[in-house]
Amino acid sequence: MFPKTCFAISALVSSALTQGCAEAARFGTLKITPNSIVLGQEVTFEVNFTCAIQLGYTPVYADYFLKVPASNNTGFDRFQPPIYFARRDGPSGVETFTRTFGPTYPNALYQVVLASTRAIITQSESYGQTLATGEVLLQVSVVQPSH
């Protein structure tokens, strides 16, 4: 009787913890300050993986890059590849870090992409580890500093 009761209580607690998490948070949530990236000035990134972990999407690592939205990135002569700017190994909970961006592609709309990679099959001797990636996109503008 006791083990069944403990199991039932732990299932309820686990369910209650994940009920506060939106499915959209399964790869983490991303916030940047200031929201417009001013070239040459520090930008703070706050990433929260709490819900991702509670929902079973614990990241192995997270990559961050700037990407021109597909609607603005067409044509052979206009294509701009993503700008990779950070990797965080084994992120957990809430992480904060800062970056300063140089004058690569000023005065444009970008998306900050958080690519959260998790193991969907743990390490095996025969096949190694199988990883899956999910992305969180945040629209930002990149501007020149005012003088």
pLDDT in tens, the chain (147 residues): 555 554 444 444 444 445 689 998 999 999 999 988 999 999 999 999 999 999 999 999 999 999 888 777 666 666 778 889 999 998 889 999 999 988 766 677 889 999 999 988 766 777 778 889 999 999 998 888 887
Pair 27, 136: CB distance under 8 Å: yes
Class of domain 22-143: mainly beta
Instruction: Name the pTM for this structure.
Output: 0.76
Q: Which one, of 71, 67, 97, lies nearest residue 84 by Cα?
A: 67
